[in-house]
Structure 1
Amino acid sequence: MTDLFTPLRLGDLELPNRIWMAPLTRCRAEPGHVPGALIAQHYAQRAGAGLIVAEATMVSEGNSAFWHEPGIYSQAQVEGWRLSTEAVHRAGGRIVLQLWHGGRACHPLLNGGHQPVAPSALVINGDTVRTPEGKQPYVVPRPLEDDEIPGIVEGFRLAARNAIAAGFDGVEVHGANGYLLDQFLRDGTNQRSGAYGGSLDNRARLLLEVLEAVAQETPLMGLRLSPLNGFNDIRDSDPIGLASWLAQRLNDLPLDYLHVIRADFTGVQQGDLLTPIRERFGGVLVANAGYGVEEAQAAISSGAVDAVAFGTPFIANPDLPERIRRGAALAQANPDTFYSPGPVGYTDYPRLEFQP
């Protein structure tokens, strides 16, 4: 029987288990959006994951949405990330980098006063962003011109090249959670006309162009999607239809895995995403959002998914796979330290002392 500890082949990688570490924005980068030794220590502690998907990382300068998130567009960032990849590999782990553009979730106070860009001039309502001047409301973004879009695609391509130069085993393209690629996908935020708006084909055009470009630069490529999720004030009129269409279309690309957030963080939109995606997508399917150990085991044993990505449990349990293997209790994370600077709530969660 396939279970959480059945090895999984992913491209050229042999994963020892199906307990993945989901990408977790933790805002610990150093000045210049450079990942340093603290981030390397954090990931090395969690090298027992079947695969680590490192946090959302800016593909180009001037697109900060979290103030202290890392980038992968400068040589200093490449060298900084090499600390993490080398530490994870020394510990026997495997790690890919999530490539990300925040789109309208960015803020001028984080980006030298520059207005954020998006498919359409629609602001994120009902939320705020952390800035050096405290929490601020989001601003109305500037719609991208069609002739600017090739520059976005090139940014992702170069970021993938830099990620491999930094020693990552591959990359995951962030097409989820209301950020730029997701903003183009969904009809609630993409109200443009022309080649990148209107039909499903047109709304998916940017994502597909990014994937085609990134695939030329990396030996392993994944994609994260969240068609149901309303985070960042985003919706689609037919999320299940969007997911079903896209799952079929992705078979035409050299995509090694599809990472699906199955639920809506806001609790509004409901539906079964995984069944139609599983029926249509022929590659490795990874699910995320709210799984406990028993449900994850059942999902893998039934063949509903090939792996499960855990987020918050990996924050407080750096040795999560071993705890699961031994049936040990799981520690609880402290949300007050999710985005605070320094090691507290980041690298100071203890491992259990297991008897052989």
Structure 2
Amino acid sequence: MSELLKPVTLGHLDLPNRLVMAPMTRSRARGGLVDELTAEYYGQRAGAGLIITEGTQPCVLGQGYIDTPGLHSPEQAAAWRTVTDEVHRGGGRVFVQLMHAGRIGHPCLYPGDALPMGPSAVPSGECLYTPQGPLDHPTPRPMTMDDIACAIEEFVTAARYAMDAGFDGVELHGASGHLIHQFLSDNTNRRTDAYGGSVERRIRFAMEVVQAVADAIGPARTGIRLSPGITYNGMDESDSEILYRELARALAPYELAYLHVSENDTRGITQLLRAEWPGTLVLNPHPRGGGEPATVREGAEALRSGLADAISFGRLWLANPDLPARVEAGGPYAEADTTTFYGGDHRGYTDYPTLTMTDPR
């Protein structure tokens, strides 16, 4: 597994290893603010080559889930500073994932019970899960040209707050059925204007967000995550291979910090993207049927084959805060407790033991 422990350059950063902590929603940011427990959680994992935080909304109407953090006010930036300081104190590097949920939201999350917005009036068919039970996502309000311009500026403002908060960069969430992905996919984007229809028009919003953020904070501090072929949150792409090949070609000249690909039993598309992407490619591998998370061995094989330059893991980092040490030792790897993924306190969050805690040697 030595491939995972080799250094690599990513944007303006020299990473000591190729083990990236994938973004994972934990729903512990009450009132949209991270706290000391969040700082402890990420600080414990500062041995990662790079940490990418949980999805963080760039505006009030960008929230899609209960108790997710924001980065659209000075108060939120100051709260995040406690996290970045803790990670940097441990020698780590951290990007914040900016996630605008788009149609994946609910009026109960917004002032005045506002409707969530999306590229078109196409409901997700999914639910918002709350302590009181599931609430159906409503049909979103189609975004006007002014709404689109505003959303792009909100990404830029959040990216600037990220710099104020001490982050090393930002990842734009263009995956998993959220707003940027909703513009990309032909089942959620039914527009007939300059932002819909052809592949060239459907990638326009993503390109404009990337360009605006890269112009504001620098391309070496900007990454983007994509999830070709995913069906999560009611997505159903009819032209994934063409769509993502063209998007990768269009993004390549920006010389971004990285392209982060989340596989969904779509290894063929990953190979197409690798061929088109001249920069650093971070892979969240799911090579097997059913989207099962990959093993450490499969991650190492993806590096060895040249498919990726770094590997992001989710559950492995959640349950193994000292993952590089475990990789070097050949395991063992703790299993994550699925009952504590979302919400709650320190249990299943900051109480996973390290090897030195479990082995008196």
TM-score (norm 1): 0.95
Question: Aligned with 1:321: secondary structure?
Answer: helix
Query: Does 1:282 pair with 2:273?
Result: no
- 1:333 and 1:17 mapped to 2: Cα distance? 23
Match of 1:267 in 2: none
- 2:255 and 2:157 mapped to 1: Cα distance? 18
Question: Aligned with 1:55: secondary structure?
Answer: strand
Q: Which amino acid aligns with 1:280?
A: E
Deviation at 1:355, TM superposition (A): 7.4
Match of 2:238 in 1: 237
Match of 1:120 in 2: 120
Deviation at 1:93, TM superposition (A): 0.4
Contact 2:187–2:237, Cα closer than 8 Å, also in 1: yes
Match of 1:295 in 2: 298
The aligned runs of 1:1-356 (5 Å cut-off) are 3-31=3-31, 33-112=32-111, 113-125=113-125, 127-131=126-130, 133-219=132-218, 220-263=221-264, 270=266, 272-288=268-284, 289=286, 290-353=293-356
- 2:134 and 2:283 mapped to 1: Cα distance? 32
Q: Which amino acid aligns with 1:194?
A: D
Q: Which amino acid aligns with 1:107?
A: H
Residue 180 to residue 349, structure 1, CA distance change in 2 (3 Å):
same
Question: Higher helix fraction: Structure 1 or Structure 2?
Answer: 2
Please give the per-residue CA displacement for 1:77-126, whole angstroms capped at 9, x wherever unaligned: 0000000000000001000000110000011111131101001111111x
Give the unaligned 5+ runs of structure 2: 287-292
Deviation at 1:145, TM superposition (A): 0.9
Contact 1:110–1:131, Cα closer than 8 Å, also in 2: no
Please give the per-residue CA displacement for 1:307-331, whole angstroms capped at 9, x wherever unaligned: 1100011111111111011112100
- 1:87 and 1:309 mapped to 2: Cα distance? 21
Please give the per-residue CA displacement for 1:286-327, whole angstroms capped at 9, x wherever unaligned: 111422111111111111110110001111111111101111
- 1:132 and 1:313 mapped to 2: Cα distance? 27
Residue 218 to residue 298, structure 1, CA distance change in 2 (3 Å):
same
Contact 1:240–1:271, Cα closer than 8 Å, also in 2: no
Deviation at 1:61, TM superposition (A): 1.5
Please give the per-residue CA displacement for 1:265-295, whole angstroms capped at 9, x wherever unaligned: xxxxx55121110111111011114221111
With 128-137 and 299-308 compared, the bigger mean Cα shift is at: 128-137
Residue 111 to residue 232, structure 1, CA distance change in 2 (3 Å):
same
Q: Which amino acid aligns with 2:283?
A: A
- 1:70 and 1:46 mapped to 2: Cα distance? 19
Q: Which amino acid aligns with 1:9?
A: T
- 2:2 and 2:336 mapped to 1: Cα distance? 29
- 2:256 and 2:303 mapped to 1: Cα distance? 20
Deviation at 1:249, TM superposition (A): 1.1
Contact 2:259–2:280, Cα closer than 8 Å, also in 1: yes
Match of 2:289 in 1: none
Contact 1:221–1:254, Cα closer than 8 Å, also in 2: no
Contact 1:47–1:94, Cα closer than 8 Å, also in 2: yes
Contact 2:258–2:280, Cα closer than 8 Å, also in 1: yes
- 1:346 and 1:102 mapped to 2: Cα distance? 24
Q: Which amino acid aligns with 2:353?
A: P
Please give the per-residue CA displacement for 1:14-43, whole angstroms capped at 9, x wherever unaligned: 100001000000011132x01111111000
With 175-184 and 280-289 compared, the bigger mean Cα shift is at: 280-289
Contact 1:109–1:132, Cα closer than 8 Å, also in 2: no
Question: Aligned with 2:103: secondary structure?
Answer: helix
Deviation at 1:2, TM superposition (A): 7.5
List, as ranges, runs of 4+ consecutive aligned residues in structure 1 with deviation greater than 3 Å.
none
Contact 2:62–2:99, Cα closer than 8 Å, also in 1: no
Deviation at 1:242, TM superposition (A): 1.0
Contact 2:20–2:52, Cα closer than 8 Å, also in 1: yes
- 2:254 and 2:281 mapped to 1: Cα distance? 15
Percent identity between matched residues is: 44
Residue 128 to residue 66, structure 1, CA distance change in 2 (3 Å):
same
Contact 1:65–1:105, Cα closer than 8 Å, also in 2: yes
Let me know the Cα RMSD of the aligned residues. 1.5
Question: Aligned with 2:342: secondary structure?
Answer: coil
With 78-87 and 234-243 compared, the bigger mean Cα shift is at: 234-243
- 2:346 and 2:181 mapped to 1: Cα distance? 32
Deviation at 1:252, TM superposition (A): 2.0
Q: Which amino acid aligns with 1:24?
A: M
- 2:320 and 2:107 mapped to 1: Cα distance? 36
- 1:149 and 1:12 mapped to 2: Cα distance? 30
TM-score (norm 2): 0.94
Deviation at 1:233, TM superposition (A): 0.6
Contact 2:72–2:161, Cα closer than 8 Å, also in 1: yes
Residue 351 to residue 2, structure 1, CA distance change in 2 (3 Å):
closer
